[in-house]
Structure 1
Amino acid sequence: MITPHFSITQDDNFVVITIHAPYVRAQDVELDVDGSQFRFYLKPYYLRLQLPGNVIEDTRASALYDVASGNMTVKLPKETPGEYFPDLDLLTKLLARSVASSNGGHLIEVVGENNDALTDAEIEEAIEYSWELPQKVADAPEILLNAQYGFSGSYSGYFTHVQETCNEINEVIDPETSTPLSRRQNRIQAEDLKFDEDHYIADLLNNEPILNLLKYKTHWWKTLKRLQKNDKDVPKESDSVINENEKLHSVKDPELEFTSREREMMLRLPNKEYLLNDPKAIYLGLVDLLFAYSYNHRFTEGENTIESAWTIGKISPTISSLEQFSTLRETVIALFRRSLSYPLYRSFILCEKVLQDVYVLLKLGRRAIIKVLLDIKDTFDNHDVYYIYSKVWLDDYCVWCMKASDKHIRSLARELHHFKIEKAEIGFELENLEQLSQEADI
């Protein structure tokens, strides 16, 4: 069966589902509505949706087929008039669901709801993260038949022949026999060897290109400014700019609306629920990916190049070293170290600016983040070698982010907004090098 392209809109009283199913006999359509579940079958198309609220099938319901466009428009009344259905633009989230275990187990389709399950509010109340304190997770078995890496350590076997490919991103020596400790050791050793004192000093002395990059305003900055300007009653730096109500981002700025390309990519993703051993590490990995994206975005001024996959992958320790972190500080230190060792421009103040870009993305919320993750995924998908990172990281991150906690994302944004990192923490004697550059410039 083929999952058709679809989109969903709503008003106070109706949900409207538009399904693209060209070249079919419309009279053969089968529609079924049961509370929050909607099913559409018209050979060869099949669509099953789990809506965020209940709809009913009464005399007000309708289904119209437009032969010219190949679209069927299904209009369903809401059970509770005036109820707002969140996340109707997050298409993957609405599809039939499955559960992915955190140790690479089989996917299990969810066929019903557990009435005893915790509500989102109860989960939020039960989980509180301190981004600066390491979180204790269950110890891994001492003997593993295969290395586990990728999203929540769910993958193995993807890097069996990595040495035979032209993978210039990978920093892990023999990934399939690696451990989290060995991967971190490989990364730090590679960074120490790669850091070039002369390059760093040269960028300090000839800093005009870097100053131009610092002046660049990303479209994400402009979007946040527009949202803040529109919310006249909300203080500029208040976290209330990102309202709990999802209406804020879905209607207030077109920059946060998904393009047809992005909707198509979401439809290709499998909808999963994740049983995570260490959810905090996943959020910290998100900071990692957003930083690597933001560096490339600022460096290219928003226009990806053929080097963008390498730039993003090389800066990200999550991708290049298959790392996971336990604190925000160690995450940021690793990102700064790599940004000062690998790309063309190596500047501490540029790293600080990129970290502000990450804050802006977190401030904008899930839709901006999902758009970024889809952009990274598309960049890797179109590379002959690096597509593998979509398989072990980005596909899952795109799906997971649709259901990620807005509370935790806002918490990360607050933490980053006030985050300070000292040059001495990086480990490259940056202050001494800056002193040398000042003496050379006299």
Structure 2
Amino acid sequence: MFLLADLALFYLYDLYWYLLLSLSLILISLTMESELVTPPFRVNQTDTHVIIEAQCPLTPANLQPEAVVEDTIFALRCPPYYLPLHFPAALSSVEQVHRSGSVIRVDLHKADAGLDFIGLEDIQPTMFVDADPQSFSVAAEAGPSRQKREKDEEAEAILKEVLQRENMTAVKEDKTEKRTRGTSGAGELFADLSTEELQANKAAAESAEDERFDEQSYLDSFVDEEGEIEELLRWKYETGPTSSSSSEATAEATELAVPAHLRLLLVDLLYAYHLSLLVSTGPPIYPWLLCTLSRSLSAPPSPPFATSDTVSSVLRSGFRRGLTFPLHRNWRLCQRAAADVVSRLSSGRQEVLAGLSDMSGCLVEGEKEATEGPDEAARWGILNESLVRPLIAKVQADINTSYSTLAEEVNAVARGLTKSNVAPSWDLELLEQMAEDVIAEQRGEQESR
């Protein structure tokens, strides 16, 4: 009798280590390809399921997400995102992995239907698992109640040991799922938008920019009586060596091998970054200004762009925001910011990474020093985690990528933009002509005296 019990326990030990090793190998293989980042996510539960929704706006549309679960351990891989979780109770299997736009939904079966998973609001991404076989055997011998208590304590200890991320506020409860009992996660999910909704958002942004455009502010910057615009234009962005002479350039370098929406996001972020630098005459830049000058950072970015967007439409929106939001609103400043983007892209991967890293640092500092409460801090954190850091990971992974063609495209587009196609209803050229006429008249009056 005792011999059979010992053999059974020995078999359970072997099975435990086999499963733990198998899952560890899976987790390692999932994270080997490149540096992955944790997406904003939320976790809900029903009587029979745990439901995970992760926001992955930068994942290519043709990439199939991968999800694995073993006992209390779960992992979702959807490059450039990776989400490992350790739950307070056991799960039996993955029922489905469903993708809708940029939202990845994973439905997991509870091992014990009806069991309430306590503490989901505190769950954190973690790779750590208690692998002490002695604690496992003690819990097994003590019976179900003690086993559950031991596992709860182990899970709590694991969570405390995890390197704490700079978390965002909890997600608001989804009122549409009436069977869902509570919501948790490390970030507020952006709304997942259809093509029609993206187009409607773009139209709303255009309308808001039209309403915000102020003729007097534009004329003040155009006339530049105090020489402030000239002073801003004298500030120089110092680039590194161009990619043709940089040590990172290789014979195998390829053009930007990422989906179109990532190229557009890169242009949008770099333009907002360089215009922020320019109107601030260099670092530091401020998160509110950076986000205001970028449509991606100032509106729900999931996905950041519609399929109809191009480098031209993205740069055009950057010019429009540059003429409506900063203190100094001048066409030459917009052109100069575009030229600085071209210089950074031409200088290669390291310069691109440096700019993106500075943006990320700006949002981190904004999150720490938010003066308008947790909502403001959460905003900076969410934008950093869902857009900027994943783009950094992508650029870091593509070590042989060249940005020269993208730089040439931005340069050509910027040179082709005119005041009439950027803002047809603002009559910029007419305003400038009227201002020049007034200046000429005043000059003539002074000379005649």
TM-score by length of 2: 0.50
Shift of 1:50: 6.2
Gaps of 5+ in 1: 1-45, 52-90, 94-98, 111-144, 162-173, 229-238, 248-275
Residue 291 of structure 2 is aligned with which of 303, 313, 323? 313
Shift of 1:324: 1.4
The structure-2 alpha-carbon separation of the partners of 1:394 and 1:244, relative to structure 1 and needing over 3 Å to count, comes to closer
- Provide the secondary structure at the position in 1 that maps to 2:291: helix
1:216 aligned onto 2:199: no
Counterpart CA distance in 1 for 2:393 and 2:269 is: 15
Question: Residue 389 of structure 1 aligns with which residue?
Answer: 383
- Counterpart residue identity of residue 424, structure 1: S
Shift of 1:175: 4.8
- Counterpart residue identity of residue 309, structure 1: P
Residue 77 of structure 2 is aligned with which of 91, 108, 114? 108
Counterpart CA distance in 2 for 1:155 and 1:211 is: 49
Does the 8 Å contact 2:35/2:397 carry over to 1? no
Does the 8 Å contact 1:311/1:343 carry over to 2? yes
Counterpart CA distance in 2 for 1:316 and 1:388 is: 15
- Provide the secondary structure at the position in 2 that maps to 1:108: strand
Percent identity of the aligned residues? 21
Counterpart CA distance in 2 for 1:369 and 1:382 is: 20
Matches within 5 A, 1:112-191: 153-154=102-103, 175=191, 179-191=197-209
1:348 aligned onto 2:331: yes
Q: Which structure shows the higher helix fraction?
A: 2
- Counterpart residue identity of residue 193, structure 1: E
Counterpart CA distance in 2 for 1:390 and 1:407 is: 23
- Counterpart residue identity of residue 435, structure 1: Q
1:291 aligned onto 2:274: no
Counterpart CA distance in 2 for 1:209 and 1:328 is: 30
Counterpart CA distance in 1 for 2:104 and 2:419 is: 35
Shift of 1:435: 1.0
Counterpart CA distance in 2 for 1:199 and 1:396 is: 37
Does the 8 Å contact 1:313/1:320 carry over to 2? yes
Does the 8 Å contact 2:268/2:294 carry over to 1? yes
The structure-2 alpha-carbon separation of the partners of 1:192 and 1:408, relative to structure 1 and needing over 3 Å to count, comes to farther
Shift of 1:367: 1.1
- Counterpart residue identity of residue 191, structure 1: E
TM-score by length of 1: 0.51
Question: Residue 72 of structure 1 aligns with which residue?
Answer: none
Question: Residue 417 of structure 1 aligns with which residue?
Answer: 411
Does the 8 Å contact 2:229/2:328 carry over to 1? yes
Residue 217 of structure 2 is aligned with which of 199, 208, 214? 199
Counterpart CA distance in 2 for 1:312 and 1:147 is: 29
Q: Deviations over 1:387-436 (max 9, x none)?
A: 21012211211111113485562111122333321111112221111112
Question: Residue 434 of structure 2 aligns with which residue?
Answer: 436
Question: Residue 74 of structure 1 aligns with which residue?
Answer: none
Counterpart CA distance in 2 for 1:50 and 1:341 is: 45
Question: Residue 400 of structure 1 aligns with which residue?
Answer: 394
Q: Tell me whether 340-349 or 397-406 shows the greater mean CA deviation.
A: 397-406
Does the 8 Å contact 1:309/1:379 carry over to 2? yes
- Counterpart residue identity of residue 184, structure 1: K
Question: Residue 362 of structure 2 aligns with which residue?
Answer: 379
Shift of 1:154: 4.8
- Counterpart residue identity of residue 382, structure 2: I
The structure-2 alpha-carbon separation of the partners of 1:286 and 1:405, relative to structure 1 and needing over 3 Å to count, comes to farther
Instruction: Tell me the C-alpha RMSD between the 2 structures.
Output: 4.1
Residue 279 of structure 1 is aligned with which of 259, 263, 272? 259
Counterpart CA distance in 2 for 1:316 and 1:334 is: 8
Does the 8 Å contact 1:218/1:301 carry over to 2? no
The structure-2 alpha-carbon separation of the partners of 1:158 and 1:332, relative to structure 1 and needing over 3 Å to count, comes to farther
Counterpart CA distance in 1 for 2:238 and 2:422 is: 30
Counterpart CA distance in 2 for 1:412 and 1:331 is: 13
The structure-2 alpha-carbon separation of the partners of 1:403 and 1:319, relative to structure 1 and needing over 3 Å to count, comes to same
The structure-2 alpha-carbon separation of the partners of 1:281 and 1:215, relative to structure 1 and needing over 3 Å to count, comes to same
Question: Residue 244 of structure 2 aligns with which residue?
Answer: 240
Counterpart CA distance in 1 for 2:259 and 2:103 is: 13
Q: Deviations over 1:259-313 (max 9, x none)?
A: xxxxxxxxxxxxxxxxx9x8112101101100111111122222215xx101110
The structure-2 alpha-carbon separation of the partners of 1:147 and 1:243, relative to structure 1 and needing over 3 Å to count, comes to same
Matches within 5 A, 1:259-274: none
- Counterpart residue identity of residue 429, structure 2: E
Residue 314 of structure 2 is aligned with which of 321, 327, 331? 331
Counterpart CA distance in 1 for 2:314 and 2:430 is: 24
Does the 8 Å contact 1:340/1:347 carry over to 2? yes
The structure-2 alpha-carbon separation of the partners of 1:314 and 1:376, relative to structure 1 and needing over 3 Å to count, comes to same
Shift of 1:212: 1.0
Matches within 5 A, 1:3-14: none
Q: Deviations over 1:231-277 (max 9, x none)?
A: xxxxxxxx734577359xxxxxxxxxxxxxxxxxxxxxxxxxxxx9x
The structure-2 alpha-carbon separation of the partners of 1:290 and 1:406, relative to structure 1 and needing over 3 Å to count, comes to farther
The structure-2 alpha-carbon separation of the partners of 1:405 and 1:294, relative to structure 1 and needing over 3 Å to count, comes to same
- Provide the secondary structure at the position in 1 that maps to 2:332: helix
Does the 8 Å contact 2:261/2:305 carry over to 1? yes
Does the 8 Å contact 2:250/2:400 carry over to 1? no
Shift of 1:345: 0.7
Counterpart CA distance in 2 for 1:405 and 1:212 is: 37
Counterpart CA distance in 2 for 1:361 and 1:159 is: 37
The structure-2 alpha-carbon separation of the partners of 1:375 and 1:206, relative to structure 1 and needing over 3 Å to count, comes to same
The structure-2 alpha-carbon separation of the partners of 1:198 and 1:159, relative to structure 1 and needing over 3 Å to count, comes to farther
Question: Residue 300 of structure 1 aligns with which residue?
Answer: 280
- Provide the secondary structure at the position in 1 that maps to 2:397: coil
